[in-house]
């Protein structure tokens, strides 16, 4: 087994293990909190900057502080909600089911994470390396990375190459 296959398995296994301990509800709320924090920060960060009571001397720095403060504020609110839901799950006695479903969530999250890492690797020389081309697991993630690539802006997608023609160097076995 190549090092790249071992890394893939470790990432997926760690994701599943973390989800086993945290449970599905906590994992889902955590993921939703990050997405909501990102959206709220970018949608309302500029508005929040008008409420910053001090002059930082540079409007860009003030705007950056506002975006970060908005993002962190939403994360803290989500963390508090997540703690309350965690206590509720413990009291209702469904933690075993929650943890079992959490493992499935963790496996899916691990798959998506590896696909995103493969996509990022597409902007490097890694796809031309022998470990990449000889990997037994990687072809499945290249397919997912190519699917994700379709949603990127053209300027970014043009930088992601898995071979000379832009097609994957390897194809999944059928």
Averaged pLDDT for residues 53-58:
71
Residue whose structure tokens are 């990375």? 145
The CB density around residue 6, as the number of other CB atoms within 10 Å, is 11
Mean pLDDT of the chain: 87
Tell me what the mean pLDDT of segment 22-41 comes to.
92
Are 117 and 31 a contacting pair, CB within 8 Å?
no
Please work out, in degrees rounded to the nearest 5, the angle formed at the alpha carbon of residue 94 by the alpha carbons of 92 and 107.
Answer: 145
- Please report which residue ranges of the chain form alpha helices under DSSP H: 3-22, 24-49, 59-92, 95-121, 130-134, 138-149, 154-157
Alpha carbons 75 and 164: distance in angstroms, whole number: 42
Tell me, what's the pLDDT at 93?
81
Question: DSSP assignment of 117-144, as one string?
Answer: HHHHHTTSSGGGSHHHHH-SSHHHHHHH
Cα(41)–Cα(28) distance, integer angstroms: 20
pLDDT of 163 higher than 80 = no
Return the pLDDT at 174: 54
Q: What is the pTM of this model?
A: 0.72
């Amino acid at each position: 087994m190549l090092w790249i296959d071992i890394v893939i398995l470790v990432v997926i296994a760690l994701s599943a293990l973390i989800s086993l301990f945290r449970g599905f509800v906590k994992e889902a709320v955590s993921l939703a909190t990050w997405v909501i924090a990102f959206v709220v920060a970018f949608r309302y960060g500029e508005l929040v900057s008008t409420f910053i009571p001090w002059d930082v001397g540079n409007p860009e720095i003030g705007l950056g502080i506002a975006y970060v403060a908005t993002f962190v504020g939403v994360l803290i609110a989500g963390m508090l909600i997540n703690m309350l839901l965690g206590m509720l799950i413990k009291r209702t006695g469904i933690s075993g089911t929650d943890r079992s479903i959490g493992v499935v969530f963790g496996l899916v999250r691990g798959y998506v994470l590896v696909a995103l890492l493969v996509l990022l690797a597409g902007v490097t020389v890694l796809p031309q390396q022998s470990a990449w081309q000889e990997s037994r697991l990687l072809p499945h993630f290249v397919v997912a990375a190519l699917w994700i690539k379709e949603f990127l802006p053209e300027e970014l997608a043009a930088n992601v190459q898995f071979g000379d023609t832009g097609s994957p160097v390897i194809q999944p076995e059928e």
